[in-house]
Amino acid sequence: MDPRDRVAVTPEAAGGPAGPCAMVLFGAAGDLIKRKLMPAIYNLAKGRLLPEQFAIVGVSIEPFTTEEFRQRMTQDIRQYAVGGVDVASWEWFAKRLYYLSGDFKDPQLYEKLADTLAQVEKEQNTQGNRLFYLATSPEFFPGVVQQLGAARLAREEGQQWRRVVIEKPFGHDLASAVALNRAIGEVLEEKQTYRIDHYLGKETVQNILAFRFANGIFEPVWNRRYVDHVQVTVAEELGVELRGGYYETAGALRDMVPNHIFQLITLTAMEPPISFDAEAVHDEQTKVLRAIQPIRPERVLDQTVRGQYGEGALGGQRVPGYRGEPRVAADSQTPTYVAMALHIDNWRWAGVPFYLRTGKRLQSRATQIVIRFHCPPFVLFRKTSVEQIPPNELVINIQPDEGISLRFEAKVPGPAVRLGAVNMDFQYADYFGATPSTGYETLIYDCMLGDPTLFQRADMVEAAWTVVQPVLDVWKALPPRDFPNYAAGSWGPSQADELLRREGREWRDPTRPGPRHPAAPATAKS
């Protein structure tokens, strides 16, 4: 009996296992592999979504043997597995792990890799299909791809496929993104290139399209006539921890906005695609990015806010400011927070501001999209005790608790006309159960199937950087004078509140179920 038969099959298993392949993990000794990728691939194995003819070849500079690599992964999976480890299932998995030590810049490494893959194909019958995953520092991306090309490892022959997964950040500005696309395009076809963003592996992100286009009651009001504005919040409690060296070269804007946040905005704002085919979805996402009005240099300081956290308290404990973190300069000017007001200049969204904010060391971990609708006319309630009518609000919670909440007004029981806010809440775990996940399972599975829908296309990447570039240029020319300008454990700098307040709006507090009318604190659950 296959030992994986002893493990509960996830709902995704209805799609069946992927076809035979060997997966090559560059950077196999790194944190991303042990914390996220290996647990995700193991979850696919438990869910019977991996084929019998499967293998992983880890590649890194550390001088491990294959047996040592298997032992390390066995230790790590016990610590980082999100759904527990079944001994028999892991044994099935571990015997498919191989390891190759070498320098990513050394052509001989790729000759050895070709020999190792040939051996793996004989032992595990992977049939020549190969998925190369670049879990490395971005500086190695173009070099590794070009070495794969020079060694003919990326060349597709007959029915055998070759695909390359590239982690973010995909460039650090528009020019570098264009250059990276060009370098990759010299070796790979676009259909072989998978620019991964783990946010798109979250169920609620994928559900945005289903929610919008499978429900006839929402799409008719999803436009400028009914929507007042949209908010996107990606808040993190954590600081930079041990990633100070990387973060000093990136900052909040580069790290989060052109990828994670713009993906959320495009899925929220796009027109209905003609199908869920990858090209059709990407076409509509790209149209949104190209419709975002570039912020004129003279307006950058009015439409954007940058911040850096200082000392503060989280969970009752004092935490250091950004400049006190390891590998961070004592006078660092790197932003750990960014807020922006964007406008999408198309027929659906003209005049509707899209506000985004993201930052580290904020009060709570939360990622959510808020659709706030126009307030209805007040005339009907003038001669009642009602003083104001709060706007309806739709909240798509992406993490930590995946779900959707709709807030509307209802009459409070009694002889007087009084209104109370009611929240109808849908939680994924309540309705569909909780499936252990790192956020990478669906994405890796799609790579094996050859479905690029949840990955960024080259023109999408460049369109996103085109929006961000004017902000980068102005911020570079005018360094901040007030850093640090928000305390750890707060919701960011006061300028971010002012960004909305001067237009008569305010940020939604992600820690609350929803704004409450003072007359009625009760909620209703669907």
Active-site amino acid positions: 260
**Nearest-angstrom CA–CA distance, 436 and 77:** 14
Q: What number of helices (H) and strands (E) belong to the chain?
A: 16, 18
DSSP state of 346: S
- For residue 186, give both structure tokens: 């010299």
Contact status, residue 278 vs residue 452, Cβ threshold 8 Å: yes
Distance from CA of residue 373 to its chain's centroid?
26
Integer-rounded Cα Rg, in Å, for the chain is: 25
Tally of CA atoms within 13 A in the half-sphere of 255 that contains its CB: 22
| Residues 117, 145 contacting (CB under 8 angstroms) | no
Pairing label, strands 309-310, 486-487: parallel
Show the tokens assigned to 389. Answer: 């009518």
* Alpha-carbon gap, residue 125 to 116, rounded angstroms: 13
Answer yes or no: are the C-beta atoms of 131 and 165 closer than 8 Å. Answer: yes
Q: Angle of helix 174-185 relative to helix 458-477, nearest 10 degrees?
A: 150
Amino acid at 432: F
Give the span between the Cα atoms of 281 and 283, in whole angstroms. 5
β-strand pairing of 193-195 with 227-235: unpaired
Short-list 361, 59, 82, CA closest to 237: 361
Cα dihedral across residues 291, 292, 298, 299: positive or negative:
positive
8-state DSSP, 35: I
The rounded distance, in Å, linking the Cα atoms of 259 and 221 is 27
CA 353 to chain centre: 22
**Residue located via tokens 């250091």:** 320
